[in-house]
Structure 1
Amino acid sequence: MSIDIEDFEERAPEELEEPSNAERVLQFLHEHSDKAWKASTIAKRADVNENSISAVLNRLKEQDLVRHKGSYWAITDDTERLRRAHQFHRTAQRFDELYGEEDREEWIEASERANE
């Protein structure tokens, strides 16, 4: 994928980042909240690799952000939960911008040292 050099020059780095698969799925389901969809259709319409869609949907289901019945998926009807999840996501992004992303390995090492 490419973008115009003018967009490259004028846009902020965060504007150039691609949304995650989960963000794409939630955005698609939210925009089409009047329907439930099969996973393969969600993958196509949300531009998510079909090999990844089951894992993405299951993670979102574990977080109660989507509903699942039979072979169909829909956005949660808990709008407050969606709002809080979106707010948390944006806050985490802001902290990453301000302080840098966390290093999972660093956290594991620190935890192991603390437990010695």
Structure 2
Amino acid sequence: MPIDIDTFESTSGDRLHESGPTNAERVMRFLASHPDQAFTQSEICEGTGVKKGSISVVLSRLEDRDLVRHKGNYWALGEDDIASYAGFAESTRTANERFGEEDMDEWLEHAVVDGVDG
């Protein structure tokens, strides 16, 4: 999504981030919400909104990091610590629904550095 040039000029680079989850985050959230199932690439596209032209690359990169695994045409969460991620993701989703998502700008606004807060 484009931003206006005034926002571009007046905002520091570390605060200009594309909003919304990345494709990899979308895939991980989708698979984490179904840890007991495996899906085809088409099903993952439908469940995440990731474009069909991107899903293969996303899944391959996640597989390289052992975050997902696949057999034949099906993909699922990886093993080992991924169950922990699934639990964390579900807890985060529940907290966000109940309390609202955290606002990084608000965190930065209220951050206190030792000896600087006056």
The match for 2:29 is 27
By percentage of residues, which structure has more helix?
Answer: 1
The match for 1:114 is none
Once the two structures are TM-superposed, the CA of residue 46 in structure 1 deviates from its matched residue by 0.8
The TM-score, its normalising length taken from structure 1, stands at 0.55
Give the number of aligned pairs.
75
1: CA distance between counterparts of 2:70 and 2:82? 19
2: CA distance between counterparts of 1:71 and 1:80? 20
Provide the aligned C-alpha RMSD in A: 3.1
Higher relative contact order (CA 8 A, sep 6+): 2
1:69-113 deviation line (CA, Å, top 9, x unaligned): 000000012226864xx9xxxxxxx8xxx8xxxxxxxxxxxxxxx
Percent same amino acid among aligned pairs?
46
Gaps of at least 5 residues in structure 2 are 2-14, 89-103, 109-118
1:38-85 deviation line (CA, Å, top 9, x unaligned): 0111011011001100000000000000011000000012226864xx
Gaps of at least 5 residues in structure 1 are 2-12, 87-93, 99-116
Residue 81 to residue 63, structure 1, CA distance change in 2 (3 Å): farther
CA contact (8 A) 1:65 1:81 kept: no
The TM-score, its normalising length taken from structure 2, stands at 0.54
